[in-house]
Amino acid sequence: MRYTLEQGKQLIDIARKSIEFWFKGKELDTNLFKEKKGVFVTLYIKGNLKGCIGLVLPYENLGKAVIGMAREAAFNDSRFKTLNEKELKDLTIEISVLTVPELLEVKPEKYSEKIKIGRDGLIVGCRGFSGLLLPQVAKEHRWDTEEFLRETCLKAGLLEDNWKKKGCEVYTFQAQVFKEMPDKTIVEE
């Protein structure tokens, strides 16, 4: 299911309110977006990454998942300092609604024929480790397929060439991305 730009605006509004309510000691609930979807919420302060956390698989209703992941990205992404209330004025939000990941069932040397930069996100899983990079990451960094695979391995805490190894699995997924711009307009990427 594809969402409209208006629905994308609603998702970003839900994420923002979830964070704002946390500062007020309140809980946010929503009856919107009852379908189960994987989703990532990415937060930026003045264009710099501030947090990014999500659910890969569709375990939860999209509206509730956005509430939870927005708070996780704001307050529990261990790579960044916790969002403070003064930063709210400079906060911009990106919502990535995911498709269910699909295993690439070809030999590693054929991955470049199956993975399309800008369309596909990647998950590499190997020996109990896994890493995920959203589709927009490879596009933003201008990576080719092999660089994307290497960077996903590194994100997983693996060696950069583990994607070629027997026993490692590579999954692709797609994302519909809604991004809030600094002037608070919403675009679909």
Task: Please give the pLDDT value at position 1.
Answer: 75
pLDDT digits (tens, 9 = 90+) for 49-88: 999 999 999 999 999 999 999 999 999 999 999 999 999 9
Which residue shows structure tokens 């519909």? 176
User: Residue 64 corresponds to which tokens in the numbers above?
Assistant: 């509730």
Ramachandran quadrant class, 142 (left: phi over 0; alpha: psi -120 to 50; beta: rest): left
> How do strand 38-45 and strand 91-98 relate by DSSP bridges?
antiparallel
| CATH assignment, 5-99+175-188 | 3.30.700.20
Amino acid (1-letter code) at residue 42 = T
- Residue 140 confidence (pLDDT) above 80: yes
Cβ pair 69, 42 in contact under 8 A: no
In order of 1, 124, 125, 131, 156, the CA distances from 128 in angstroms are: 31, 10, 7, 10, 10
User: Residue 82 corresponds to which tokens in the numbers above?
Assistant: 């916790």
Cα(first)–Cα(last) distance of the chain, in Å? Answer: 16
In order of 51, 161, 164, the CA distances from 188 in angstroms are: 20, 33, 34
pLDDT digits (tens, 9 = 90+) for 83-134: 999 999 999 999 999 999 999 999 999 999 999 999 999 999 998 999 999 9
- Residue 189 confidence (pLDDT) above 90: no
| Residues above pLDDT 90, as percent of the chain | 94
As a whole number of angstroms, the distance between CA 171 and CA 115 comes to 10
Region 178-188: what's the mean pLDDT?
90
CATH architecture group of domain 102-173: 2-Layer Sandwich (3.30)
In order of 68, 94, 108, 160, 189, the CA distances from 29 in angstroms are: 10, 20, 44, 41, 27
Region 134-143: what's the mean pLDDT?
95
Cite the residue boundaries of each domain of the chain with CATH code 3.30.1490.150.
102-173
Which residue shows structure tokens 């919420």? 41
Q: How far is CA 5 from the centre of its chain?
A: 18
As a whole number of angstroms, the distance between CA 42 and CA 50 comes to 8
pLDDT digits (tens, 9 = 90+) for 2-19: 999 999 999 999 999 999
Region 146-168: what's the mean pLDDT?
95
Cite the residue boundaries of each domain of the chain with CATH code 3.30.700.20.
5-99+175-188
